[in-house]
């Protein structure tokens, strides 16, 4: 099982979807799973119930997804690493890839995105810098591999991830890791 972690907008969901397809794995996005269970958007739930309630549900979803021993790629929410139990489950139960992106690169990608509750502030770039300062050490603590996202295409990022997984003997060389 492979998990992708990183800042909001670092490409976890997009890369995860393509990576899962390439490896022949099932793809799970924790945010989509949470929305499916809630029957509403994370933004609405976040506004109504607050961050702590959201983080508790996120913890449950991560525990359940990582407890299953399957061929899967899991894309986590940007704040999944804030709870120590999530960091532990991800690191011990999966091979974790940190998609490292700088706040300025993320801002360029997300500056028009109104669906991310933590970025709905007067100065989203400052908010991203603050989140990065808080979370980067936690991502690094949790990760087995760090991939610099920079500006490569999704296909290039997926190739970089697969190469790291092959070098780390997580998946065998070749396009398909599982039939």
Binding positions for Mg(2+) are: 13
Pairing of strands 2-5, 95-100: parallel
The CA-atom distances, in angstroms, between 165 and each of 9, 127, 170 are 22, 32, 5
Give me 164's structure tokens.
């790291």
Contact (CB, 8 A) for 80 and 62? yes
| Neighbouring C-beta atoms of residue 71, cutoff 10 Å | 15
Q: Annotated binding site, which residues?
A: 9-14, 31, 55, 78, 116, 135
Distance from C-alpha of 134 to C-alpha of 129, rounded to nearest angstrom: 9
Q: Annotated binding site for ATP, which residues?
A: 9-14, 116
Distance from C-alpha of 37 to C-alpha of 34, rounded to nearest angstrom: 5
Q: Annotated binding site for substrate, which residues?
A: 31, 55, 78, 135
Contact (CB, 8 A) for 15 and 109? no
């Amino acid at each position: 099982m492979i998990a992708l972690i990183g800042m909001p907008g670092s490409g976890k969901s997009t890369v995860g979807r393509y990576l899962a397809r390439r490896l022949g794995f099932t793809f799970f996005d924790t945010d989509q799973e949470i929305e499916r269970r809630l029957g509403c958007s994370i933004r609405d739930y976040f506004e109504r119930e607050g961050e702590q309630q959201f983080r508790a549900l996120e913890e449950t979803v991560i525990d359940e997804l990582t407890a299953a021993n399957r061929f899967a790629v899991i894309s986590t929410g940007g704040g999944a690493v804030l709870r120590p139990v999530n960091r532990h489950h991800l690191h011990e139960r999966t091979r974790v890839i940190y998609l490292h992106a700088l706040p300025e690169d993320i801002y360029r990608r997300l500056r028009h995105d109104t669906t991310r509750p933590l970025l709905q502030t007067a100065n989203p770039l400052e908010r991203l810098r603050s989140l990065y300062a808080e979370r980067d050490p936690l991502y690094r603590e949790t990760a087995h591999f760090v991939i610099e996202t920079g500006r490569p295409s999704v296909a290039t990022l997926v190739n970089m991830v697969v190469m790291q997984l092959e070098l780390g003997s997580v998946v065998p060389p070749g396009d398909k890791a599982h039939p």
